[in-house]
Chains A and B, each alone.
Chain A
């Protein structure tokens, strides 16, 4: 008979790229130990586990110590929260290592004549030490990372402490809180951002912003890597395909469904617009043919800039200080392209300066070497 896993992930794990969007991923999840023991390890990234659709790797548990094993550097406590028992590896504190046997104070009753500082310090140290060592039956709170070692799940503690719970208030409130936590959070599906792009205006949804920032980066990297000097939009459209899940077109939504192609076209248009505003690409001529030049790869533009600087700095007016950006801009516009924007020029000038072809004399003046 197949055992049913209550926290079983769907066959389809959310892509790892989106995990950071789930707040559960960054938190120490307060799950029942039975769920921690049963949750499946991710197929994409080992070390990350799934409770339903939530990726997680850090947990926070509260339970009774039911066994204790001592190793040289750490204690291994078995923690039982009434739903399951899990191994917790708790590192020993450096400072207690050399203590040896707990020292007895000369006056254990405490009702000494006067205040003996040595005894009090010894008592304080002993009390501190006691709080870090647990015995069977003690209540332990552990926060740590989930590890699977030799088929056994364990928690490697990043912090742990003995909980003082004389009237069981902590355990009772824990029992009352957990179901609520599950209902409100862990059992709620991880909302994967798969908004329909078509229905939202540019910049209107944060999901679109996210996609846009990714597409800009992808395009930039591609243009640099392949040393692309000129391109047309359909040449680079394929780069954006992985960003739009093809299944989203089939998803049910109350917004008017837009096709995959429309979404891609819209994303591409916005991406090119951003890159133009940044000065990374530009259109030399405003014609029917949508051709983009890549600023840092356009040799003709670089030559035009260098020519302007070489010629003009010969003149007395510019010899010492160099040419101002705006002067260079109007000159290059005359020689090369009327549509050139200041942003494009700035990108080109920075590029040339990094190559030591030109030099800036002040923040806005340039000259040739």
Chain B
């Protein structure tokens, strides 16, 4: 399978929002809180200030893997938004345990990268206001 769609970094609390469209390839991270091998479903949790958020991850493509409950994981895959109650599903293509990762620094890095691309977009819009800006 040849993949040409890039995977931009998103925070776990952004996955369930409108920021991420159906079918988008994303990369994100979270703490493994549950894993059901029979259904190939895992749940990754993230925390923003005091609020907890969860994302459903489909693990068919990355099995077998050694689940370490409570550990931080890095995940890369496609978002599937269903109308049903199940909410948002992340079909993972890569799932790596990164327990010990510095979450604060990671957040800082993502923000820094976004800021850079935003700056670049603004500069380009200033130079050529009539042109459509590229997707970030």
Question: Does A204 lie at the interface of the complex (its beta carbon under 8 Å from any beta carbon of B)?
Answer: no
Residue of B nearest to A135 (CB): B94
Question: Does A17 lie at the interface of the complex (its beta carbon under 8 Å from any beta carbon of B)?
Answer: no
Q: Within the complex, what minimum Cβ distance (angstroms) separates A71 from chain B?
A: 14
Is the Cβ of B7 less than 8 Å from the Cβ of A4? no
Residues of B65-114 whose CB lies within 8 A of A = 74, 76, 93-96, 98-102, 105-106, 108-110, 112-113
Residue of A nearest to B3 (CB): A66
Is the Cβ of B101 less than 8 Å from the Cβ of A168? yes
Q: Within the complex, what minimum Cβ distance (angstroms) separates B130 from chain A?
A: 8
Residues of B within 8 A of A82 (CB): 6-9, 27, 113
Question: Does A233 lie at the interface of the complex (its beta carbon under 8 Å from any beta carbon of B)?
Answer: no
Number of interface residues of B (CB under 8 A): 39
Beyond A1-B132, A3-B132, is A175–B110 a contact (Cβ under 8 Å)?
yes
Is the Cβ of B2 less than 8 Å from the Cβ of A67? yes
Beyond A1-B131, A83-B6, A179-B113, is A66–B94 a contact (Cβ under 8 Å)?
yes
Which range holds the interface residue count of chain A? 20 to 34
B-side interface mostly: mixed
Total A-B contacts with CB atoms under 8 angstroms apart: 96
Residues of A within 8 A of B115 (CB): 179
Beyond A4-B134, A6-B124, is A178–B94 a contact (Cβ under 8 Å)?
no
Question: Does B133 lie at the interface of the complex (its beta carbon under 8 Å from any beta carbon of A)?
Answer: yes
Is the Cβ of A176 less than 8 Å from the Cβ of B112? yes
Is the Cβ of A137 less than 8 Å from the Cβ of B116? no
Among B6, B124, B131, the most chain A Cβ lie within 10 Å of the Cβ of B6
Q: Within the complex, what minimum Cβ distance (angstroms) separates A127 from chain B?
A: 19
Among B1, B7, B8, B115, the most chain A Cβ lie within 10 Å of the Cβ of B7
Residues of A182-214 whose CB lies within 8 A of B = 182
Residue of B nearest to A165 (CB): B98
Residues of A within 8 A of B36 (CB): none
- B residues in contact (CB < 8 Å) with A: 1-9, 27, 62, 74, 76, 93-96, 98-102, 105-106, 108-110, 112-113, 115-117, 120, 124, 128, 131-134
A-B interface, 9 closest residue pairs, ranked by CB to CB distance from nearest: A137-B94, A179-B116, A175-B109, A1-B132, A167-B100, A66-B3, A84-B6, A168-B101, A172-B109
- A residues in contact (CB < 8 Å) with B: 1-4, 6, 33-34, 64, 66-67, 69, 78, 80-85, 136-137, 165-169, 172-173, 175-176, 178-179, 182
